[in-house]
Amino acid sequence: MTATQTPSPGTTETPSPGETHRPLRADARRNRERILESARQVFAECGADAQIDDVARHARVGVGTVYRHFPTKEALMVELVRQQFRLFADRAREALEELEDDDASFTALEAVMRRNAETTASDAALRYVLTAAGQHIWDQARDEQQDLMSATEELLGRARSAGKVRADARSSDVGMLMCGVCSTMGRIAPGFDWRRHLELAIDTLRPR
Amino acid sequence: MTATQTPSPGTTETPSPGETHRPLRADARRNRERILESARQVFAECGADAQIDDVARHARVGVGTVYRHFPTKEALMVELVRQQFRLFADRAREALEELEDDDASFTALEAVMRRNAETTASDAALRYVLTAAGQHIWDQARDEQQDLMSATEELLGRARSAGKVRADARSSDVGMLMCGVCSTMGRIAPGFDWRRHLELAIDTLRPR
Amino acid sequence: MTATQTPSPGTTETPSPGETHRPLRADARRNRERILESARQVFAECGADAQIDDVARHARVGVGTVYRHFPTKEALMVELVRQQFRLFADRAREALEELEDDDASFTALEAVMRRNAETTASDAALRYVLTAAGQHIWDQARDEQQDLMSATEELLGRARSAGKVRADARSSDVGMLMCGVCSTMGRIAPGFDWRRHLELAIDTLRPR
Amino acid sequence: MTATQTPSPGTTETPSPGETHRPLRADARRNRERILESARQVFAECGADAQIDDVARHARVGVGTVYRHFPTKEALMVELVRQQFRLFADRAREALEELEDDDASFTALEAVMRRNAETTASDAALRYVLTAAGQHIWDQARDEQQDLMSATEELLGRARSAGKVRADARSSDVGMLMCGVCSTMGRIAPGFDWRRHLELAIDTLRPR
DNA sequence: AATGAATGAGGTTTCATTCAT
DNA sequence: AATGAATGAAACCTCATTCAT
């Protein structure tokens, strides 16, 4: 289930290949989308204790339909995480494609980080899965993570060779730092401000 | 449905002077400690969805006893977190007292950060609260947070005047960074390593 | 914590036209009936402290099903009361329809009172809710009460104009007297006999 | 436990004789009174589901003390009811003693009924017992009931021989009617008014 | 393929009663 | 004799999942 498959990045709709998936009927696919979208909203509102029934109701679909598409509540959350990682990977690759000059690579990385942070900030569901979701959920999104990592690594490599990041920076550092930033997003405490946290994180990556 | 009850035992160490707390009977106090300790262990094992029954069993106490001391599961977690914050604040103050020379202040801060991180790494309950799902609980430990913050601020001030930290460093930065580090503690992902994350965080605070 | 749910199935017979009640699926309706019937029996046996679990078991239904139909134990009891008031109102109206002559009106009222008393006597659950159930349960059956009252009032009006009842008799008197009679039904004490009490009550209504 | 003992009417303080009761120590007796009084008040406020803890708190006594005096919650309620019945019997006998002329006997009965009704109206505990749910408790106050009945019978006999009540009136009728009146005391419903109910009941006893 | 009713294990909490202090 | 902390069975209710329609 891990290494063999080409992770077909960015194709949100195409469900993880490798298994025989006769393409979904048009309405089924539409339902799938609706469910995912609803899940995102409902989790955003209710956090962990969102109920499948709520998701179903929000998607105007019976619970059974949700379960037809996602055998488990967890599976649904996993898919949410995967989608997000795919999106982030896409952004990284996009940045890479548009990158004309290694000197701009760090700026590009920064931009991606900022954009991803904004996305996360406005999506409580995402924040929830990134910070609170159990490890087992992360584990099931390993492929997407790796894809994201390697896209990031590439960007980082370019920056490194241009001397724009600290020499020991790794893509996993970017991941950890971003996780950290996201973890302070909901927090209300005097002085807490995730945008500042983000700037600190970006700063951390800079060469000394 | 009836009336007030459970006089909210409050903090063990500092018996919050606002309310009349006749000191707990010796055995009650012992039980309270046992419950708290058990809670910490059980939550560490099972995460947030540990059950009160398990806590009670682990403490060799009836469920009712747990509820006599903590009217709610949440209340129990809140107390756990408060204790932890108090511990952290104590450490900061301790460091402050032992500090002989402003030049050592950053080293002292570092040491405190490392120690706190280790503590958190082995306390899943605390980690949970630092999570999106734990928002609610975090909010109820405001006083302890502020206390921690101000202790940190003092330490930071000393370091700042000795030029050992970046000039714009604030205690809330330390808080955010530490939250960030802790948020990666549970994560198993290629390259993820909270100790490295911690070093990055400490680095971030250094003057450039 | 989440959102609305359980669309409050409402009255079985008269699907209270205010809300959109798509009629229950055949099996659901059957279950609903079964639950209500079981509740009646279980409450009859155990009085107030009948447990929902028992009702469910008696109806050969999962607890969840009971709660799907009645969001609360109280709601279940309320429905029981409502049903009964509806039955009584129906009887009053029936009597009214069959009434050919105002002179027979008091006899008709008497008959209804006797019939209702017999019904209550043989239904401990009903007795329980009529006498012991908290006011808030009664409150939620206000509509049915009023309906019953007005049906009674009509019957009483006819009797009044025929001079067959005391001039100051009101339908609420009938209600109070009947409640009184029912309250002595379970009582075991020398000389206590609800049928005699009922005769006294009927007598009370007679013109002097 | 039933017939042998002379029910020592009116002596509220002296606990049911027949068993060896070394007289309570002065403070114990005081406590007993306080508990009983508190129970009355607490039950009045919270109905049957008042908690022993509340009673204890109200009496400024530990729960243990309550249990020392009354082995069971039920036992406490039973005693409450007994006291009440004793009080009612006392009133009847008092009326009897003060009665100078048989012609005044019905007026005296009326007065007793009114007074008892008022008392009951402000005693939810007693009312609870008159309810289907209180059957159990009622049964344990048989002796006091009988005493009350016979006192009532005497009063009624005088009235009967003076032709002031309906010829077939029995003391159990008075009991049933009073139970009936009391059963409407808690009820709030349009037109319900126990004082009117009481007048109807008194009327019922009048000769036609 | 979709629906939503049914399921029931399992969770939190309450409270009459016991028992150590 | 008094206290109130401890007990734990049992109550109510939830919600992920299954299954008949």
Q: Give D19-68 pLDDT, tens digit per residue.
A: 455 566 778 888 999 999 999 999 888 777 889 999 999 999 999 999 99
Which backbone phi and psi does D123 adopt, to 5 degrees? -135, 90
* Cα distance from N-terminal residue to C-terminal residue, chain B: 61
Positions of chain E reached by protein Cβ under 7 A: 1-21
Contact A132, B182 (CB under 8 A): no
Q: What is the DSSP string of D115-134?
A: HHHHHHHT-HHHHHHTSGGG
What whole-number distance in Å separates Cα of residue C193 and Cα of residue A18? 81
- Residue D26 Cβ under 7 A from any strand F atom: no
Span CA (B65) to C1' (E12), Å: 14
Helix runs in C47-141, H state only = 52-59, 63-69, 73-98, 105-121, 124-127, 135-139
pLDDT for the residue A21: 57
Which backbone phi and psi does A192 adopt, to 5 degrees? -75, 135
Query: How open is the CA angle D184-D189-D194, to the nearest 5 degrees?
Result: 35
Span CA (B30) to C1' (E20), Å: 14
- Which chains are adjacent to chain B, needing at least 3 Cβ pairs under 8 Å? A, D
> Is C3's CB within 8 Å of A49's CB?
no
pLDDT above 60 (res D197): yes
What whole-number distance in Å separates Cα of residue B30 and Cα of residue B174? 35
| CA dihedral sign of residues B96, B99, B101, B103 | negative
Closest residue in C to D128 (Cα–Cα): C132
Contact D189, C172 (CB under 8 A): yes
Shortest distance, CA C181 to any CA of chain D (angstroms): 6
Span CA (A68) to C1' (E1), Å: 9
Could you tell me which of D206, D124, D121 has the C-alpha nearest to residue D167? D206
- Residue B51 Cβ under 7 A from any strand F atom: no
Of the segments A4-13, A87-96, A127-136, B133-142, which one has the largest average pLDDT value? A87-96
Q: Do chains B and C touch (3 or more CB pairs under 8 A)?
A: no
Chain C window 44-103, residues with Cβ within 7 A of nucleic strand F: 49, 51-53, 63-64, 67, 71-73
Which backbone phi and psi does A206 adopt, to 5 degrees? -65, 150
To the question of pTM greater than 0.85 for the whole model, the response is no
Closest residue in A to B138 (Cα–Cα): A187
User: Whose C1' is closest to the CA of A70: which nucleotide?
Assistant: F17
Closest residue in D to B1 (Cα–Cα): D46
Mean pLDDT in residue range B116-138? 85
What whole-number distance in Å separates Cα of residue A69 and Cα of residue A82? 15
> Is C179's CB within 8 Å of D179's CB?
no
Positions of chain F reached by protein Cβ under 7 A: 1-21
Q: Which of A7-16, C53-62, C171-180 has the lowest mean pLDDT?
A: A7-16
Q: What is the pLDDT of residues B192-206, one digit of tens each?
A: 999 999 999 999 999
What whole-number distance in Å separates Cα of residue A89 and Cα of residue A76? 20
Task: Supply D187's token pair.
Answer: 């009820």
Residues of A in contact with C5 (CB under 8 A): 53
Chain B window 3-42, residues with Cβ within 7 A of nucleic strand F: 24-25, 27-28, 30-31
Mean pLDDT in residue range A104-122? 96
**How many CB atoms are closer than 10 A to CB A197?**
27
